A and B are shown apart, each in its own frame.
Chain A
Amino acid sequence: GIQVEQSPPDLILQEGANSTLRCNFSDSVNNLQWFHQNPWGQLINLFYIPSGTKQNGRLSATTVATERYSLLYISSSQTTDSGVYFCASLRGNMLTFGGGTRLMVKP
């Protein structure tokens, strides 16, 4: 099956800093999704991005399908950005998740 790897596994930022999270996948995928899990465990879909670039406020994501990676950019980070970020690829109806990047934003 498809392997999904994320880096870095842990990240600590000072409020206001920018960061880039990376997701590599082992095979061509027809879609890629990014999720944020808040400290209370709730998982929210951020982006559905099979290719190209999308932006939503301070967050943006880019997927280069031909090179099998996706990047999530967080600009001007805030403490509310803390949590775990997952990327996942969809095969049929099933998602394969990466191991996640745990982000802590300090005030």
Chain B
Amino acid sequence: DVKVTQSSRYLVKRTGEKVFLECVQDMDHENMFWYRQDPGLGLRLIYFSYDVKMKEKGDIPEGYSVSREKKERFSLILESASTNQTSMYLCASSPTSGRTLLAKNIQYFGAGTRLSVL
């Protein structure tokens, strides 16, 4: 089974702090994603990475940065946390290649990190 592990289930941080959210996948997937989830808005893509050291902005990258130094690890960084970044953050991974189109398009999600910024 694919396993996507997020380092923390719950985090409480202060406004202005630098925050790191870590995500590790064990399936050698090329693609990794960071989403935030807010009530009524579904999941919105912050950043994704299709290879080591490669990244692309998603729909809401402002206030965030990412780092992918190793294939299995994708970090989301809040340079200076603000209260409007209080949210649930979800990491996902997916393969680029696969035996079928279905296999290539399935994203596997971590359990999420609920971040509160006070």
Q: Closest chain B residue to A48 by CB distance?
A: B102
Secondary structure type dominating chain A contacts: strand
B31 touches A86 (CB 8 A): no
Secondary structure type dominating chain B contacts: strand
Q: Tell which of B43, B90, B101, B107 touches A45, judged by Cβ atoms closer than 8 Å.
A: B107
Q: Tell which of B42, B45, B111 touches A42, judged by Cβ atoms closer than 8 Å.
A: B111
A9 touches B40 (CB 8 A): yes
Residues of A within 8 A of B90 (CB): 41, 43
A83 within 8 A of B: no
In the complex where A45-B106, A48-B102, A94-B48 touch, is A40 in contact with B111 (Cβ < 8 A)? yes
Residues of A within 8 A of B88 (CB): 41
The complex places the Cα of A43 from the Cα of B33 at a distance, in Å, of 14
Give how many A-B residue pairs fall within 8 Å (CB-CB). 58
Q: Tell which of B35, B40, B94, B114 touches A99, judged by Cβ atoms closer than 8 Å.
A: B40
Query: Which one of A4, A6, A96, A98 has the highest number of Cβ atoms from chain B below 10 Å of its Cβ?
Result: A96
B80 within 8 A of A: no
Binding site for A on B (CB under 8 A): 31, 33, 35, 40-45, 48, 50, 58-59, 88, 90, 92, 94, 96, 101-102, 105-109, 111-112, 114
Binding site for B on A (CB under 8 A): 1, 4, 6, 9, 31, 33, 40-45, 48, 86, 88, 90, 93-100
